Amino acid sequence: MKIRFCFFLLIGWMGCNLSTETSDPAPETQSQLSLLSQRAIADLAKIPFDSLQIPRTIEADGKLKGTASKSWTSGFYPGLLWQLYGYSKEEKLKQAAAQWTAVVEKEKMDDGTHDLGFKVYCPFGNAYKITGEEKYKAVFITAAKTLSTRYNEKVGAIRSWDFNKDVWKFPVIIDNMMNLEMLFEATKLTGDSSFYHIANQHATTTLKNHFRANNSSYHVVDYDPVTGAVANKHTHQGLNHESSWSRGQAWGLYGYTVAYRYTGNPAYLAQAQKIADFIFSHPNLPADLIPYWDYDAPNIPNEPRDVSAAAITASGLYELGTHDPANAEKYYSRADQILKNLASEKYQCSTPPFFLKHSVGSIPGKFEMDTPIIYADYYYVEALLRQNKINS
Ligand code: GLY
């Protein structure tokens, strides 16, 4: 039954003013998930299957911009279809999810990127969880092996990028925390502890070097691959090296929550809590909890929001609450507020196949500067599913 609902009723009876919290959110979430499932089915007819055009964003002229499987975003559309199939059990979604997922399979062998968690685990991990079919498991275990080749024991981390070699020798970005789930899961499923060792050490090294005293994170930490020493701390997608790039803070919150799920290391839980505190006590976080693209962006409030950062944060908070009962209501309530606001006209998108607008890819890179982006939708759906589970 709805423990949260009973809690709110009790608080209400005690005379507290919880006007927006006294309704049971489960039916609302269910209808939202049903609507999104129907939207995704209707959109299938408008998004012809094309292995080189996996939906990513829309161009300035409103046309769909797709990518080949090599892009770091290639797993999100198939992953999103799997998530909605898992909820709705609509056969059309399963067929489409399987078709788009197959396109990405070859990426399991690409050892030139750290993005294998995003690319391979989002579609294949969801496919395995939802269908139980062994063929999906084998693909992400191969990807975990490939990703492991980018680990440097001296540094104690997985190398993120291979570009900008004149600037960085061994760059590790906060986003890389999102690849660890696939490694932890690979150990769980195979019994091979090497994946766990790499993931755990990566999280420990990142904890040591990526965070400032206020618990915000640097985007890029570059290491000397021979000595393991930190060479420099940079940004790539944030305002400047010392600013707090919003999606990076979201990746950190989500990533340390997952690392705690698999290791039980209290330092990881504490880091996720501290990142949440950084985000929600930040004076530049707008009242609707949808952050600007960088917490230090110079022209706030006239700066683009990043809906993707909000969606990732909401999803992370729902899991964080399950590990931290003492603070669960606080985290759930913030995540509920984010989802409620994302469901408003301001943020909803009607261009197929996207659900949300106002995300940012990279302001310094001058691309996707205020637009729908598929990974915002992926984490939005994941957050709704988590909210639904908590309230059911
Ligand atoms: N991992 C790339 C990004 O968050 O934009």
pLDDT value at residue 187 = 98
CA of 175 to the centre of ligand 1 (A): 6
Which amino acid makes up residue 14? M
pLDDT value at residue 26 = 77
Most ligand 1 atoms within 8 A of CB, residue of 161, 237, 313 to mutate: 237
Active-site residue, 192 included: no
Most ligand 1 atoms within 8 A of CB, residue of 160, 161, 175 to mutate: 175
Catalytic position from the list 50, 162, 175, 192 = 175
What residue owns the CA closest to ligand 1's atom 2? 175
Which amino acid makes up residue 178? M
Can you tell me which atom of ligand 1 is nearest the CA of 248?
4
- Residues above pLDDT 70, as percent of the chain: 94
Can you tell me which atom of ligand 1 is nearest the CA of 361?
5
Can you tell me which atom of ligand 1 is nearest the CA of 237?
5
Active-site residue, 115 included: yes
159-213 confidence digits (pLDDT tens)? 999 999 999 999 999 999 999 999 999 999 999 999 999 999 999 999 999 999 9
pLDDT value at residue 27 = 80
283-340 confidence digits (pLDDT tens)? 999 999 999 999 999 999 999 999 999 999 999 999 999 999 999 999 999 999 999 9
Catalytic position from the list 24, 43, 111, 115 = 115
Q: Which residues contact 274 (CB under 8 A, 6 or more apart)?
A: 215
Can you tell me which atom of ligand 1 is nearest the CA of 175?
1
pLDDT value at residue 83 = 98
pLDDT value at residue 6 = 36
CA of 266 to the centre of ligand 1 (A): 27
pLDDT value at residue 23 = 52
Can you tell me which atom of ligand 1 is nearest the CA of 115?
1
Please say if the pLDDT value at position 103 is more than 90: yes
Mean pLDDT of 266-270: 99
Query: Rounded to two decimals, what is the model's pTM?
Result: 0.94
pLDDT value at residue 24 = 61
CA of 223 to the centre of ligand 1 (A): 20
pLDDT value at residue 10 = 33
CA of 140 to the centre of ligand 1 (A): 20
Most ligand 1 atoms within 8 A of CB, residue of 67, 72, 160, 176 to mutate: 72
CA of 147 to the centre of ligand 1 (A): 17
For 283, other C-beta atoms within 10 Å of its C-beta total 6
Round to the nearest angstrom and report the end-to-end CA distance of the chain: 6
Which residue is it, tokens 């489409």? Answer: 96
Ligand 1 pocket, Cβ-based, cut-off 6 angstroms: 72, 175, 237, 247
Q: How far apart are CA 113 and CA 102, in angstroms?
A: 19
CB 296 within 8 A of CB 284: yes
CA of 309 to the centre of ligand 1 (A): 10
Instruction: Give 113: exposed, middle or buried? Use CB within 10 Å, 0-12, 13-18, 19+.
Output: buried
221-231 confidence digits (pLDDT tens)? 999 999 999 99
CB 330 within 8 A of CB 383: no
Q: How far apart are CA 28 and CA 106, in angstroms?
A: 39
Pair type for strands 151-152 and 64-67: unpaired
The mean pLDDT of the chain is 94
User: Can you give the three-state secondary structure of the chain, one letter per residue?
Assistant: CCHHHHHHHHHHHCCCCCCCCCCCCHHHHHHHHHHHHHHHHHHHCCCCCCCCCEEEEECCCCCEEEECCCCCCCCHHHHHHHHHHHHHCCHHHHHHHHHHHHHHHHHHHCCCCCCHHHHHHHHHHHHHHHHCCHHHHHHHHHHHHHHHCCEECCCCEECCCCCCCCCCCCEEEHHHHHHHHHHHHHHHHHCCHHHHHHHHHHHHHHHHHCECCCCCECCEEEECCCCCCEEEEECCCCCCCCCCEHHHHHHHHHHHHHHHHHHCCHHHHHHHHHHHHHHHCCCCCCCCCCCECECCCCCCCCCCECHHHHHHHHHHHHHHHHHCHHHHHHHHHHHHHHHHHHCCCCCECCCCCCCECCECCECCCCECCCECEHHHHHHHHHHHHHHHHHHC
What residue owns the CA closest to ligand 1's atom 5? 361
Instruction: Give 287: exposed, middle or buried? Use CB within 10 Å, 0-12, 13-18, 19+.
Output: exposed
Mean pLDDT of 106-122: 98
Question: CA 228, 365, 160: angle at the middle one, nearest 5?
Answer: 25
Question: Which domains can be identified in the chain, with CATH numbers?
Answer: 1-46+246-392 (1.50.10.10)
16-68 confidence digits (pLDDT tens)? 333 334 356 678 899 999 999 999 999 999 999 999 999 999 998 999 999 99
CA of 306 to the centre of ligand 1 (A): 12
CB 188 within 8 A of CB 217: no
